[in-house]
């Protein structure tokens, strides 16, 4: 049986804005009187972020969820199309070669959705199979990768996975809650895509996926649909919970391939925030430079939910050896994937 190999990647970003400009131009007034708000906002590890809706120019904090969803498709379609086209071009494939198109998102919904509309616009075949991975949150790229990888392995046909997240559509009304300051300080917009091919002799082979959910801490991270968009709940205890599980998850992932932490050449860790990266570094005994791709991605792009770990994987570049991809989200859930040279 052939294996699924990542052979191409692409991404697309909306307009950029500096973190300081965002604070001075909008969020300083939004959170006026909230103690430590500026320190938290500017200490999130983000220098530049991307937004289809810049609140300095257009304040949508009082928009209904329906109005936000009507904005989602026209903003998401060109970003998704650019990301998928770039990934296919990098893999040397045409849209007609694709057997399965998977789309991951937790920030917008419509039917017919991105999967149908983009498949048509790009010229994918009429017998294309499609998969939507919805509302799983920041870790969703990895179960999406596992699902399309299984298709590639079982059917011996190429597949594309696209993550599109437009968190800027969910700026919340002003409340004196530091938790909301943290969320608005971190989250950003992006689209990222990867192509997987059966048995390719180049790229990175998907060698394993491990998941762990600690349901006893399910209230620590939430993403609730409200009448005024989607609202993030984020407990400061999240890094402590992750610290209890990250070592076991990585050990299980690597033992299946007969590897140790020392054998891993590259780490693509979802930068949920600076403290989360610190927890992964310390829990696995990694050097700070091994967190470099994740910290650079956080600094230049922010936390783009499910798309972020694919951006980190691109930032990692062509390292020679095993790569661990890791992400975290509601549940609390940890997902990790092992990529080996093809």
- 218/220 Cα distance (integer angstroms): 6
**What element of type H or E holds 297?**
helix 292-301
**Among the options 106, 138, 163, 304, which is catalytic?**
138
* Residue whose C-alpha is closest to residue 44's, from 177, 184, 222: 184
Three-state secondary-structure class, residue 236: coil
Look at the block and give the residue holding tokens 């919970």: 241
- 58/210 Cα distance (integer angstroms): 41
Q: Determine whether 138 is an active site residue.
A: yes
Q: Taking the CB of residue 218, how many other CB atoms lie within 10 A of it?
A: 13
Q: Is the dihedral of CA 289, 293, 297, 300 positive or negative?
A: positive
Three-state secondary-structure class, residue 218: helix
285: region left, alpha or beta (phi > 0 left; psi from -120 to 50 alpha): left
Positions annotated as catalytic residues are 138
């Amino acid at each position: 049986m052939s294996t699924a190999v990542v052979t191409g990647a692409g991404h697309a970003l909306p307009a950029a804005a500096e973190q300081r400009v965002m604070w001075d131009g909008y969020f300083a007034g939004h959170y006026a009187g909230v103690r430590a708000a500026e320190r938290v906002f500017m200490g999130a590890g983000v220098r530049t972020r991307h937004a289809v809706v810049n609140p300095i120019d257009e304040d949508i904090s009082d928009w209904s969820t329906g109005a936000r969803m009507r904005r989602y498709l026209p903003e998401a379609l060109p970003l998704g199309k650019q990301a998928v086209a770039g990934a296919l071009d990098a893999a040397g494939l045409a849209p007609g070669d694709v057997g399965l198109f998977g789309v991951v998102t937790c920030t917008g919904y419509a039917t017919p959705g991105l999967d149908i509309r983009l498949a048509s616009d790009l010229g994918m075949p009429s017998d294309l199979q499609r998969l939507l991975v919805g509302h799983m949150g920041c870790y969703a790229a990895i179960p999406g990768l596992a699902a399309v990888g299984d298709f590639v392995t079982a059917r011996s046909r190429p597949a594309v996975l696209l993550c599109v997240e437009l968190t800027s559509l969910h700026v919340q009304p002003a409340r004196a809650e530091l938790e909301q300051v943290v969320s608005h300080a971190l989250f950003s917009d992006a689209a990222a895509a990867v192509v997987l091919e059966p048995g390719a002799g180049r790229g990175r082979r998907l060698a394993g996926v491990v998941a762990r959910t600690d349901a006893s801490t399910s209230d620590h991270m939430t993403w609730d649909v409200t009448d005024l968009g989607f609202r993030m709940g984020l407990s400061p205890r999240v890094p402590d919970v992750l610290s209890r599980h990250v070592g076991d998850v990585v050990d299980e992932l690597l033992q299946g391939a007969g590897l140790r932490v020392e054998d891993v050449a590259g780490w693509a860790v979802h930068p949920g925030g600076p403290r989360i990266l610190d927890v992964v570094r310390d829990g696995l005994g990694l050097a700070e430079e091994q967190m470099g791709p994740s910290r650079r991605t956080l600094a230049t792009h922010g936390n783009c939910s499910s798309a972020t770990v694919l951006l980190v994987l691109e930032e990692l570049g062509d390292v020679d050896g095993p790569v661990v991809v890791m992400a975290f989200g509601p549940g609390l859930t940890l997902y990790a994937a092992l990529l080996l040279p093809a």
